[in-house]
Amino acid sequence: MTQAQLDESVDYLIKRGFEAPEIGIVLGTGLGQLVDNIENPVEAHYNHIPHFPLATVEFHSGKLIYGTISGKKVVVMQGRFHLYEGYDFVDITYPIRVMHLLGIKKLFVSNAAGAVNLDFKKGDIMLIEDHINLQGGSPLAFKGVSEFGERFVDMSEPYDVDMRKKIENIANKNGISLKKGVYASVVGPQLETKAEYRMLKILGADAVGMSTVPEVIVANHLRLPIVAVSVLTDECDPENLQPIDIQEIIAVANRTEPKMIQLFKELILEI
């Protein structure tokens, strides 16, 4: 990744009309319906954006969508890049840097995750308050990182306190039960063993998933305020673990997404 490459990606998008978005939104697995709320959408397929990570076959539908939601200009990532697809940390966070250069002032992130905290149930939404990086690397561990910002990035409060309060208030007002907790990121793509779920619980995780943390680290590098939510799609009870059903995970994400959309839409109105 070089500044020149980032500039070319940004130039391409600006030429296509991606004019001064205020908010960037990353949509997780099974969480694509939010794009139906974008007015006057303009799309750019990841494959067509210069220097974007080359999309894998299953990923051909990945695109950036620009438009307005609740009257504000947004840029939405429909589909993200994951480590488990073979990308590296710098690849998967490249779009965050591009959205930052386009001008976003805030970043919203979503994901599908397993509930490690057994007080939480599938179909719940968890506001991420903090995280544990179990992916064995960092998107900032590359030569020349200092040209892009501080190397030793502070992570004492990686999730924006003000937006967290706002989203809690929105949930209260709308009768949406919002859980709060710690998200642990793993590489995947295999799901966890019973022993690993026990470990995650001991470590203090409330939810586990295969994304989000690299993007959040880079957003902090860029001093971009973030709010992130997990849609809990399965219950990770090591004493009663059911075989994972990916179709069911996607179905739960689909069913739960309208609550997440409501939270995000109202948050857009308030910021």
Using CB under 6 A, list all residues that contact ligand HPA. Answer: 112-114, 186, 191-192, 208-210, 233-234, 236, 249
Q: What is the DSSP string of 108-162?
A: EEEEEEEE-STTS-TT-EEEEEEEEE-SS--TT-STTGGGTS-SS---SS-S-HH
Tokens (6 digits) for 217:
């680290």
Cβ proximity to ligand HPA: between 157 and 245 the closer is 245
Three-state SS annotation for 236-261: CCHHHCCCCCHHHHHHHHHHHHHHHH
Minimum distance between the CB of residue 196 and ligand HPA, rounded to whole angstroms?
9
Q: Which residue lies nearest ligand HPA, judged by its C-beta?
A: 114
Cβ proximity to ligand HPA: between 26 and 38 the closer is 26
Cβ proximity to ligand HPA: between 1 and 241 the closer is 241
Minimum distance between the CB of residue 253 and ligand HPA, rounded to whole angstroms?
8
Which candidate, 216, 240, 236, 265, places its Cα nearest to that of 118? 236
Minimum distance between the CB of residue 120 and ligand HPA, rounded to whole angstroms?
12
Minimum distance between the CB of residue 259 and ligand HPA, rounded to whole angstroms?
17
Backbone angles phi, psi at 253, to 5 degrees: -60, -45
The Cα 25–Cα 110 span in angstroms is 8
Parallel/antiparallel/unpaired status of strands 226-235 and 106-115: parallel
Minimum distance between the CB of residue 202 and ligand HPA, rounded to whole angstroms?
16
Cβ pair 55, 84 in contact under 8 A? no
Cβ proximity to ligand HPA: between 98 and 113 the closer is 113
Cβ proximity to ligand HPA: between 176 and 244 the closer is 244
